[in-house]
Structure 1
């Protein structure tokens, strides 16, 4: 039995073109020296206690990073490969490729890669020592600019050496069709642990299954269509979302006309942020103290998410002023946010583990008042608009979806992908991914992750995408952009700090 891509996964697969690829990822800054420093502190305390006649503390448990040689050998390429090999059994799609069906008779299928080579997917790179943040960001931008090889499983990982103080960076790049809400994790989430002392999974012997031939896939597609002809009619007559708008020609025309009118009358402001031109990316990161943002939120009786958005508003205002001095008082930038940032109850599982790669969540569209020059007033407006629009049915969004999700033939999801690009182009200027809960400290092979940034997808006809997560009492901002539009993206780092300090100093 074949395992077909879901309608949404197929849509993202077909959204790729020469100017945009729908991959996402993460950057983990790992500190192998931190284990040695902690071990040294414990040894110093134990020696001091012994000299005072105090009983020595119990030795660390066996199997910890400090005891099994990790502290001396560090996190190297071989150790990372072994870790990923052990964890791939949790995400079987990462050893599968996408096979399209002849003549587009059905959605593509997942099949095992008979030539799977983990060393192709995990690569080693380095910065000229001593590497700095600008060099790391430039390397990440170059990696994220390249499309994934469609003849292989759609992911890559890089171990980047040469960072200051012996730190390492792990960069992951995963196609959006591999990550599906709660069901499928991004590879960076698979290799990290909340505890330094984690046991490896039981060893798994993986053997690829025989890939089906083109004729088999075509016959299977025809058999699927013939075995459920009623589903096609039912999906058109009683489907959900956009499909329900097609129950009759008259009703569909009226609703579509209404939708077009709404987009024309309530579309995002004209902005170069919707004028993506190239496939070349720029990348930048910044962080601000979460405690400071909490104090600002307490002072102005709002939420930390409101402060995050106000900081981002200040960033966008500075960016606009850097090339256009005619920013007017009523100017705005329209963003799309996860609805859970305003209402945690929308999450299906309240006990779900906090994640940094959040996709497929209900969203809403709101405006950032970049024309307002007073930071306190700007924060009040941000909070008021977000609260208002998160409760407006006109501003709610389920994110990108296929036009006719239940139809199996490829022309429909492919047509749906193109239609999504054109119809959704002016719905908003910038997608923003907001974490809804603080992340617990993470470890890779027993070594602490000291910084963590989520790299969001940069869709076609978008020049900028932003993610903000809370990690180790910091709010970590990541910006990925079309270099042809935002060649000055590294300035965003300074803008984040300036915008935060502006809010902190406001009485």
Structure 2
């Protein structure tokens, strides 16, 4: 038997009636000849011959009695592909906006806890004879940064589908017995005092920064009091108080109680233009992508008469996983806190400030309260953690710190992919939103020679996501114009050697 990690369990506990944490990919398939498109049975047959390559997609949850401990993964005796792989059809004319509306509805539906935590939908009826495949997976199974890579196992790099030997994965988990689960739970409870003491000792020096990061009245005073408490009660701790922590997130129209309704939009940017900006100005692709997101958020705030005089606070997911960990789905997802200088009017200086923030983020990350708070939450009994996760205090134990939004960028396949011989023309990330992480998430992934961007938001907080996608193209044109005069950017910063992607 294989028990879920603390982080995976927290992803499960974070879900509420208005928040689902699954992530996904929308793969748009190129036009096909009449009658030559992909059928749902084709997709099921393809998956049936490949799913053994991705063991976690066969796993389902087995809960511990009374919720005393973290649940276990067990292999499904029968995988109902008729349930997991379904098809939907758009009514005419089948535009990208209609496709995005369909994905919005599918993304809003939670995954069933009684089955393996993934679903796949074949979408028919797009203009130009196109089709689409939308696949969503729970991060407890596969983290968002590698979901596309794992699902690419079900696709091919040539139009001719490859033959895959059918061999069961080495990682197979049998159902855990009740006595065995209760015995493990008793052992974990016995270790609870030591785990809480260790986690508290690591967390204490960071109480001032953590308290000030809370978006509640009196947070500054709480931080000052926590600082005094830290100096008096934790002098023996070897850790130093956190310095250079990101500012508390300001109030924005897209930070508020999220509903279960979603709105999704997507677009593609020429990767060559992004690379040209990176090369000419001496930054990284992450710098450029984050600067583009900063620009569109600035314009969105201006359009809504809500431009603040401070930067936004964003979180950028990073995953640290080894091949051995991937086989057991034992990943460790962390979030880099970064500042988005939407209060900077000059596009070149905005890019420079984004670079500075991303450069400093790794240093802040090593001592960031977010990771320590998550570890502290992991030490709590699951029953208590599940109760807290459904209260306003859930921000203290969830894997996402209080931020304005999440921005992600991942390198995807450089070569074209094919599904049953049909070329995939775009791979657009479909992420998640919540009260804690903000009502909008911008995710980008390179694919071939373009950068595919998916934006998902709470429909009530950000109803105009298509305006944001249009502004991405304008933002890229703005940065491209800066490359015509490199001196425009360089006088107030030292020479910088271009970094690899």
| Aligned-partner SS, 1:440 | coil
Residues 1:80 and 2:43 are matched in the alignment: yes
Equivalent residue for 2:183? 223
Most deviating of 427-436 and 17-26? 427-436
The C-alpha deviation readout for 1:64-108, integer Å capped at 9, x for no partner, is xxxxxxx98442211100111112212334333323222222222
Q: Which moved more, 1:482-491 or 1:431-440?
A: 431-440
CA contact (8 A) 1:277 1:485 kept: yes
1:421 correspondence with 2:378:
no
Q: Would the alpha carbon gap of residues 193 and 360 (structure 1) be closer, same or farther in structure 2, given more than 3 Å must change?
A: farther
The alignment partner of 1:272 has SS state of coil
Change (3 A) 1:387 1:102: same
Secondary structure class of the residue paired with 2:136: strand
Q: Give secondary structure in 2 for the equivalent of 1:478.
A: strand
SS of 2:57's equivalent in the other structure is: helix
1:177-196 equivalence runs, <5 A: 177-180=140-143, 188-196=151-159
Q: Counterparts in 2 of 1:345-424, with a 5 A limit?
A: 360-392=332-364, 393=366, 398=371, 401=374, 403-405=376-378, 409-415=381-387, 417=389, 419-422=393-396
Match of 1:327 in 2: 307
The range that moved more, 413-422 or 468-477, is 413-422
2:62–2:175 contact (8 Å) kept in structure 1:
no
Q: Is the 8 A contact 1:10 1:413 kept in 2?
A: no
Deviations 1:186-245 (A, max 9, x none): 763331233444433234699x99856xxx42x22332245677644553455xxx4553
| Equivalent of residue 58 in structure 2, options 83, 95, 99 | 95
**Cα deviation, residue 112, structure 1:** 4.0
- Contact between 2:9 and 2:71, CA under 8 Å: does it hold in 1? yes
Using the size of structure 1 for normalisation, the TM-score is 0.77
Which blocks of at least 5 consecutive residues in structure 1 are unaligned? 37-70, 247-251, 341-346
**In structure 2, what is the Cα distance between the partners aligned to 1:394 and 1:205?**
41
Structure 1 residue aligned with 2:315: 336
Aligned length, in residue pairs: 444
Secondary structure of 1:391's match? helix
Cα distance in structure 2, aligned partners of 1:262 and 1:131: 45
Distance 1:306 1:88 in 2: 36
Compared CA separation, residues 319 and 227, structure 1 to 2 (3 A): closer
Compute the TM-score of the two structures, normalised by the length of structure 2: 0.78
The within-5 A match list for 1:22-61 is 22-31=21-30, 33=32
CA distance in 2 between counterparts of 1:222 and 1:380 reads 55
- CA separation in 1, counterparts of 2:397 and 2:377? 15
3-state SS of 1:124 partner: strand
- Contact 1:306–1:383 under 8 Å retained in 2: yes
Greater shift in the superposed pair: 74-83 or 172-181 = 172-181
C-alpha spacing 1:401/1:415, structure 2 compared with 1 (3 Å): farther
For the residue of structure 2 that corresponds to 1:364, the secondary structure is strand
Q: In 2 relative to 1, CA 413–192 (structure 1 residues): closer, same or farther, beyond 3 Å?
A: farther
- Give the superposition deviation at 1:174: 1.5
Q: Distance in 2 between matches of 1:174 and 1:465?
A: 17
SS at match of 1:269: coil
From 400, 408, 417, the equivalent of 1:442 is 417
Report which of the two structures shows the higher radius of gyration computed on alpha carbons: 1
C-alpha distance 365-414 of structure 1, shift in aligned 2 (>3 A): same
**Corresponding residue number in structure 1 for 2:488:** none
CA, structure 1 residues 116+436, in 2 after alignment: closer, same or farther (shift >3 Å)? closer
Give deviations 1:286-317, integer Å, cap 9, x for gaps: 22111112222233222222221121111101
Q: Aligned-pair distance for 1:275?
A: 0.8
Residues in 1 aligned to 2:322 and 2:414: alpha-carbon distance in whole angstroms: 16
* 2:6 matched residue in structure 1: 7
Task: Note closer, same or farther for the CA distance 1:80–1:410 as it changes in structure 2 (3 Å cut).
Answer: same
Task: Give the SS at the match of 2:114.
Answer: coil
Q: How far off its partner does 1:420 sit?
A: 4.2
Aligned residue number for residue 286 of structure 1: 267
**288, 292, 295: which one aligns with 1:307:** 288
1:232-269: CA deviation from partner (whole Å, max 9, x where unpaired): 4553455xxx45537xxxxx5x6545632455453111
What displacement does 1:487 show?
1.0
The answer to whether the Cα contact below 8 Å between 1:364 and 1:397 also exists between their aligned partners in 2 is no
1:277 corresponds to = 258
Give the RMSD, CA atoms, in angstroms: 3.5
Separation in 1 of the partners of 2:264 and 2:119? 17
Aligned to 2:406: 431
Given candidates 60, 68, 85, the residue that maps to 1:105 is 68
